[in-house]
Amino acid sequence: MKPFYHIFLFAYPLAAKILSYFNEKAAKWVSGRKGLFQFIEEKFKANTAPVIWMHCASLGEFEQGRPLLESLKSNYPNHFILLSFFSPSGYEVRKNYAGADFVCYLPMDGPKNAVRFYNLVKPSLVLFVKYEFWYYYSLEAANRKIPMLLVSGVFRKSQAFFQFYGGFYRRLLTHFSHLFVQEANSLELLTEIGLANQSSISGDTRFDRVISIVQDFEPIPAIAHFSHAKNILVAGSTWSEDDEELNHFLHTNPRLFAIIAPHEIMEDRLKECLKWYPKAMLFSTYQEQFLAGDAPEDIQVLIINNYGMLSRLYQYANICLVGGGFGGDGVHNVLEAAVYGKPVLIGPIYDKYLEAIELVNNGGCISVENALELEKAIIQLLSEDQSFCLTASKAAKDYVYAKAGATSRIMDYIQANRLLTN
């Protein structure tokens, strides 16, 4: 499998460069890596503080790792925090994140790049979040005896690690000092390939993250104004498939107002949303008019055209719809909605996501197959008899709060094994 991995390392940047001519995300991936090593060298040449390095694929993984990163910063204030991303959707949103001393893209994996990166950064602790596995970066940490942890990992039997041809990928896992996983099935899979002694269940740090958002909630005045005294549906991380299921109900029910936060906010996608929904307006336009004291009163649907706001939008909802479940790889983060004690609607594709499965099973989340079922569920949740809605809301909130604590378990391991010293 190693030759195939090298082919991937060669082909991915080449494909990104070709796509960059007509794809905005690919263009940012390519341009963000120009002069990257010089950028990193300039930042680290005068650094004398020990470095904690966390790497995330994208924005979702950053939100997952964020509670741990902030706990490390609080407990080890004299350490230098490096945060890296693979995807533009993470880097572009969090490149000015105040909780890190330096934020950058991760140079593409490879033996020379990994050696050069470690020579410049000299990390004391390496943290990779959830799905990030890069062979040479993990090998270099192992060769240099730098503790490396996987945070909130999830494993499935179908992954290459557990196939007859997966020896190369199994060796990659042995480079980690410890693998913290979310649940028992992942631990069992790691145990079957001989990694029981370096694996344990920590739970999912996303639960700690969404709870902290509620505890430190920052209001959004324009959204509060739009939502006042209305029935509000917040649809987060939506794709075109989600729009197809929802738009008919909004067209035929003008008393239901909606806030739509597309998963991607490229210009074409925003135009598509404005076309799909009745009396729709971009949030940026609405906010400008609100700040000028002239917010329109006839808007039924706000289209969110920024990143980073979604986790707070759910606070303003009567009902939440989390996108992704009607197509593609499945539903997005249901915890951001459930933590507020709101009933959560999702499409039928959620089998890869333990939290969605458990929320459906406990009644905090309602899975619907199509537009007809979606409309039926919305009507039931908004009915005068609020017993169904209240039961779902309580189940959602109770589930999230019962799962807190993963961050403290990982911190306990770091401190007990003296992986860092002040």
pLDDT tens-digit series, residues 103-118: 999 999 999 999 999 9
In terms of domains, do 245 and 192 share one? no
Q: Is the pLDDT at 352 greater than 90, yes or no? A: no
In terms of domains, do 261 and 410 share one? no
What pLDDT does residue 45 have? 92
What pLDDT does residue 422 have? 66
**Range 305-316 average pLDDT:** 93
What DSSP character marks residue 160? G
Q: Is residue 126 part of a domain?
A: yes
The Cα 181–Cα 198 span in angstroms is 11
The Cα 152–Cα 183 span in angstroms is 9
pLDDT band for 163, please (50, 70, 90 cuts). very high
Task: Name residue 235's beta-bridge partners.
Answer: 260, 321
Q: Is residue 209 part of a domain?
A: no
Q: Is residue 249 part of a domain?
A: yes
Work out whether the CA dihedral 6, 124, 88, 263 comes out positive or negative: positive
The Cα 336–Cα 209 span in angstroms is 9
What DSSP character marks residue 107? P
Q: Is residue 156 part of a domain?
A: yes
What pLDDT does residue 307 have? 86
pLDDT band for 186, please (50, 70, 90 cuts). very high
In terms of domains, do 375 and 250 share one? yes
Give whole-number Cα distances, 132 to 24, 60, 230, 271, 383, in Å: 23, 12, 42, 33, 44
Domain that holds residue 112: 2-203+405-416
Q: Is residue 343 part of a domain?
A: yes
Q: Is the pLDDT at 246 greater than 70, yes or no? A: yes
The Cα 318–Cα 229 span in angstroms is 11
In terms of domains, do 199 and 307 share one? no
Give whole-number Cα distances, 291 to 222, 225, 259, 280, 288, in Å: 8, 11, 19, 19, 5
In terms of domains, do 318 and 250 share one? yes
User: Both ends of the chain: CA-CA distance in Å?
Assistant: 41
Work out whether the CA dihedral 282, 283, 288, 291 comes out positive or negative: positive
In terms of domains, do 143 and 274 share one? no
DSSP run (H or E) holding 409: helix 406-416
In terms of domains, do 279 and 357 share one? yes
In terms of domains, do 177 and 282 share one? no
pLDDT tens sequence across 70-106? 999 999 999 999 999 999 989 999 999 999 999 999 9
Q: Is the pLDDT at 329 greater than 90, yes or no? A: no
pLDDT tens sequence across 115-161? 999 999 999 999 999 989 999 999 999 999 999 999 999 999 999 99
In terms of domains, do 224 and 249 share one? yes
Q: Is residue 421 part of a domain?
A: no
**Domain harbouring 410, CATH code:** 3.40.50.11720
Q: Is residue 213 part of a domain?
A: no
What DSSP character marks residue 174? H
Average pLDDT for the chain = 95
pLDDT band for 257, please (50, 70, 90 cuts). very high
**Range 384-400 average pLDDT:** 95
Q: How many domains does the chain have?
A: 2
- 323 Ramachandran zone, left/alpha/beta (phi>0; psi -120 to 50): beta
**Range 7-33 average pLDDT:** 94
Q: Is the pLDDT at 172 greater than 80, yes or no? A: yes
In terms of domains, do 187 and 254 share one? no
**Domain harbouring 377, CATH code:** 3.40.50.2000
In terms of domains, do 398 and 410 share one? no
The model's pTM = 0.89
What pLDDT does residue 327 have? 85
Q: Is residue 182 part of a domain?
A: yes
What pLDDT does residue 133 have? 96
In terms of domains, do 106 and 146 share one? yes
Per-position DSSP letters for 306-324, written without gaps between them: SSS-HHHHGGG-SEEEETT
What DSSP character marks residue 177? S
